Chain A
């Protein structure tokens, strides 16, 4: 079964609004989680590393004020897309290393965001 859960799996929002995506580790504590973005027929691009108890680390070119990350607990990280625009429409995926599996990185189910 899944070890990392993401919610919602699909969301549609209007331009200018904000939308929050949740990522939960189900049977382990994750001090670190990763957020990726994937455009159709392209590979995953790392956006940021979410760190429990401290600020997220953003990859070059990713706007930290637009993509707010909060690692609220050892099992939950959230990604909030603020003031969404149609070009933010994408597939967002989170992942986390699972210590009991030798830190194998497991992915959530992903969230399709459509901004209209």
Chain B
């Protein structure tokens, strides 16, 4: 059964800190890995990763995929209170269905 595991489950840091969120997966037919940010409503798309070793970057956020070791990380530098959210990692395996991890709840303290 396809599986996505995120760690840590929750994280509390001070504004300005850098955080790294982890996502590992077990799959039979991997296609892509996606990161989403969820605040009060539905998830908003951050990154889609399909190739190993190529970093994707958007402002203070970046992400990279390691297909050999079956994991991905999401980095956020110079964190701000607006970064407080649940970050979801999801994989597509064989089709367009997403299998989600449990999420990492990130809290940024001013």
Contact = CB atoms under 8 A, between A and B. Distances in A.
Interface of A: 6, 32, 34, 42-46, 49, 93, 95, 97, 102-110
Contacts of B102: 42-43
Interface residues of B, number: 18
A6 to B, nearest CB: 8
B45 A109 contact: no
Please report whether the interface of chain A is mostly helix, strand, loop or mixed according to DSSP. Answer: strand
B34 interface: yes
Interface of B: 34, 36, 41-45, 48, 88, 92, 96-103
A44 B96 contact: no
Q: Which of A6, A107, A108 has the most CB of B within 10 A?
A: A107
23 contacts: A32-B96, A43-B88, A43-B101, A43-B102, A43-B103, A44-B88, A44-B100, A45-B100, A46-B97, A46-B99, A49-B97, A93-B42, A97-B96, A104-B34, A104-B48, A105-B34, A105-B45, A105-B92, A105-B96, A107-B43, A107-B44, A109-B42, A110-B41
Nearest to B92: A105
Contacts of A34: 96-98
Nearest to A59: B97
Contacts of B45: 104-107
